[in-house]
């Protein structure tokens, strides 16, 4: 028999014992590689490295659409560490609900035919849960850590007040005075209402006397500080706050947000903690937009029907709201929230309510020496302070709804002096914000008192309250914020009334010089750019 072996290779027969030894060595080396890789993955995911340093945590990523938790929202956690976002889960359930399972069960050959047809397409077929988790338990269903987004570090700021040791109303008002200018009556009403509300939450019941809550209705012109007052109060307290817009609410069964979505937003703000949710505050803005429509024969699904649907929420009842979703779905868990201890604050500008009040007051005039002039109330900026329940009913609010808002607080219109104070006195005043911006460039920004009065005059003309202040300052600070960084020698900028009125440029002081030259680049009359 011819020997065909190559002379360069050493071929020999391997005995059975040597074959077993070789197989054992291969198995041990493979297991070491596997264990080494799993240990590395385990260290990477568990955060245990050298020296005990913890690795940063990563956000959950949807297995279907690959969106992180910061963009997709709350995730559904499935076996094998698989995460599915809310949108993909709803689309999946919609597709599943439309499939004819009964027909497939009645025809056993249909499933075989379906698998046969799907087999002709590579990568298409019925998936198993084990297949989704081939990336490993610690790998997030096959998504590497390099494709995940690191979670943001949670803020460690502590609230000023504690719900378990709520301070007296005068202390709450003193804190509100640091942020909100004027509106003393509104701040006093809010402080007393919050103090009493959380006293009854803490005591629950006192003997046989049960203290009922007092919801608040805020009335005031636009820009008077209704929303800002509630935001400031919730920031000072350790309570969750949900701000909802009544314009998007509709009756159940119609396109839009249901009434229960207001409580769902509060549940999300409380981190899905039902107990914390039941002690929160819900602020419903633009409440005047759900007034009854006049002279209409169609169904008012976004007006009177919304008021009727909110009656049970305001008074207190058990409401089932979806967890982590805006609408109820078969796959979304529901949580039962009792609104008995939730403080509801409704706010609105109520336009044209002044005319209703003026007409009522003019009817009370009589003939004689003690009669009031008919034009007495026409130019009154605080005409809303004379509002009554009858005026609100005539505006379009149903009596049942108003009966559940026993506290009606009116905010006064902002005067010129109040606008000047808003510019410079609060802790986060607008002028302080711009001074901090220029301080980063080592430039001192100053405003003359005459300049502040000129800004307040322009804001009064716009009739949009405090919201007009930032729009005006943004317009006049544009050129300054653009030109100042060009010259590092500028040390101080002073805004004058002439600059606000467009008559001159701001005063510029160079570092180390006592003179105050003016930059021609800031003259609005000249166009220096070619």
For residues 353-381, average pLDDT: 70
State the pLDDT at residue 245: 86
CB 304 within 8 A of CB 398: yes
Q: What is the mean pLDDT of residues 120-149?
A: 47
> Tokens in use for 391?
């005026």
Mean pLDDT calculated for residue range 41-45:
44
Asked if residue 259 lies in contact with residue 311, where contact means CB atoms within 8 angstroms, the answer is no
Q: Write down the pLDDT at residue 346.
A: 92
Residue 342: closest CA among 227, 262, 271 = 262
Question: Residue 158: its pLDDT value, please?
Answer: 55
Confidence at residue 2, expressed as pLDDT on a 0 to 100 scale: 46
CB 161 within 8 A of CB 172: yes
Quote the pTM value. 0.63
Tell me the torsion sign for CA atoms 113, 115, 118, 120: negative
Pairing of strands 334-338, 318-322: antiparallel
Q: How far apart are CA 92 and CA 99, in angstroms?
A: 11
CA–CA gap between residue 359 and residue 374 (Å, rounded) = 9
The arrangement of secondary structure in 416-522, i.e. its CATH architecture, is: Orthogonal Bundle (1.10)
pLDDT tier at 34 (50, 70, 90 boundaries)? very low
Q: Residues near 113 by Cβ (< 8 Å), separated by ≥ 6?
A: none
- Residue 242: name the closest of 278, 283, 276, 214 by CA: 283
The domain at 169-410 falls in which architecture? 3-Layer(aba) Sandwich (3.40)
Q: Which SS3 state, helix, strand or coil, does residue 419 take? A: helix
- pLDDT > 60? residue 35: no
Judged against a pLDDT cut of 80, whether residue 430 lies above it is answered with yes
What is the separation of C-alpha 1 from the centre of its chain, rounded to a whole number of angstroms? 88
Is 176 a residue whose pLDDT tops 70?
A: yes
When mean pLDDT is compared across 104-113, 356-365, 426-435, the lowest value belongs to 104-113
Alpha-carbon 147 to chain mean position? 27
CB atoms within 10 A of CB 215: 21
Tell me how long the chain is: 530
Report domain extents, the chain: 16-48, 69-147, 169-410, 416-522
Closest listed residue to residue 77, CA positions, set 134, 133, 151, 135: 133
Using the Cα atoms of residue 221, residue 227, residue 228 and residue 230 in order, give the sign of their dihedral. Answer: positive
Question: Residue 58 gets which letter from DSSP?
Answer: B
Task: Give the percent of the chain with pLDDT over 90.
Answer: 14
Residue 145 confidence (pLDDT) above 70: no
Distance CA 324, CA 331 (A): 11
- Residue 525: its pLDDT value, please? 44
State residue 115's pLDDT score.
59
* CA-wise closest residue to 242 among 195, 211, 276: 276
Give the position of tokens 């903690």.
273
Which percentage of the chain shows pLDDT scores above 70? 65
Looking at the predicted structure, is the pLDDT value of residue 97 above 80? no
Q: What does residue 325 show for φ and ψ, rounded to 5 degrees?
A: -150, 160
10 Å CB burial of residue 271 (0-12, 13-18, 19+) is: exposed
How buried is 113 (Cβ within 10 angstroms: 0-12 exposed, 13-18 middle, 19+ buried)?
exposed
Q: How far apart are CA 219 and CA 226, in angstroms?
A: 8
Long-range contacts of 335-340 (CB under 8 A, 24+ apart): 335/267, 335/272, 335/274, 336/274, 337/263, 337/266, 337/267, 337/274, 337/277, 337/278, 338/278, 339/263, 339/278, 339/312, 339/313, 339/314, 340/213, 340/278, 340/316
| Res. 340 pLDDT band, cuts 50 70 90 | confident
- Nearest 5 degrees, angle CA 239-CA 210-CA 320? 55
Residue 466 structure tokens: 């405090």
CA distance 384 to 185: 14
């Amino acid at each position: 028999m011819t020997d065909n072996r190559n002379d360069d290779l050493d071929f020999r027969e391997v005995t059975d014992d040597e074959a077993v030894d070789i197989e054992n060595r291969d198995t041990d080396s493979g297991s070491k590689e596997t264990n080494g890789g799993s240990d590395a993955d385990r260290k990477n995911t568990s955060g245990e490295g050298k020296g005990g340093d913890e690795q940063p945590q990563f956000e959950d990523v949807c297995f279907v659409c690959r969106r992180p938790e910061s963009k997709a929202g709350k995730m559904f956690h499935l076996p094998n560490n698989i995460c599915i976002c809310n949108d993909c889960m709803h689309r999946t359930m919609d597709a599943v609900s439309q499939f004819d399972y009964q027909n497939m069960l009645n025809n056993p050959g249909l499933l075989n035919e379906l698998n046969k047809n799907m087999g002709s397409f590579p990568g298409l077929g019925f998936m198993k849960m084990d297949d989704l988790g081939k990336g490993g338990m610690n790998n997030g269903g096959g998504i590497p850590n390099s494709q995940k987004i690191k979670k943001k570090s949670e803020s460690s700021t502590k609230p000023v007040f504690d719900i378990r040791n709520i301070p007296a109303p005068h202390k709450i008002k003193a804190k509100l005075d640091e942020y909100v200018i004027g509106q003393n009556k509104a701040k006093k009403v809010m402080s007393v209402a919050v103090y009493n509300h959380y006293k009854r939450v803490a005591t629950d019941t006192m003997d046989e006397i049960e203290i009922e809550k007092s919801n608040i209705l805020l009335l005031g012109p636009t820009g008077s500080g209704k929303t800002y007052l509630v935001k400031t109060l919730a920031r000072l307290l350790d309570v969750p706050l949900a701000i909802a817009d009544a314009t998007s609410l509709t009756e159940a069964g119609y396109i839009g947000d249901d009434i229960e979505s207001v409580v769902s937003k509060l549940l999300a703000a409380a981190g899905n903690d039902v107990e914390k949710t039941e002690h929160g505050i819900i602020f419903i803005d633009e409440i005047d937009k759900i007034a009854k429509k006049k002279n209409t024969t169609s169904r008012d699904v976004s007006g009177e029907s919304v008021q009727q649907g909110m009656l049970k929420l305001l008074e207190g009842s058990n409401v089932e709201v979806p967890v982590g979703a805006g609408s109820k779905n078969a796959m979304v868990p529901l949580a039962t929230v009792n609104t008995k201890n939730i403080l509801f604050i409704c706010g609105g500008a109520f336009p044209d309510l002044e005319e209703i009040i003026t007409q009522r007051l003019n009817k009370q005039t009589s003939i004689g020496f003690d009669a009031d002039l008919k034009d007495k109330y026409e130019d009154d900026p605080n005409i809303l302070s004379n509002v009554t329940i009858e005026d609100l009913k005539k505006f379009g609010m149903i009596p049942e709804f108003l009966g559940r808002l026993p506290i009606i607080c009116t905010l006064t219109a902002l005067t010129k002096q109040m606008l000047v104070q808003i510019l410079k006195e609060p802790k986060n005043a607008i002028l302080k914000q711009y001074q901090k911006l220029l301080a980063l460039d080592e430039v001192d920004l100053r405003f003359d008192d005459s300049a502040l009065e000129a800004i307040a005059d322009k804001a009064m003309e716009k009739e949009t309250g405090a919201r007009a202040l930032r729009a005006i300052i943004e317009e006049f600070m544009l050129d300054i914020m653009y030109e100042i960084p060009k010259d590092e020698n500028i040390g101080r900028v002073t805004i004058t009334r002439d600059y606000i009125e467009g008559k001159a440029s701001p005063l510029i002081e160079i570092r180390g010089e006592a003179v105050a030259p003016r930059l021609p680049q800031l003259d609005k009359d000249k166009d220096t750019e070619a």
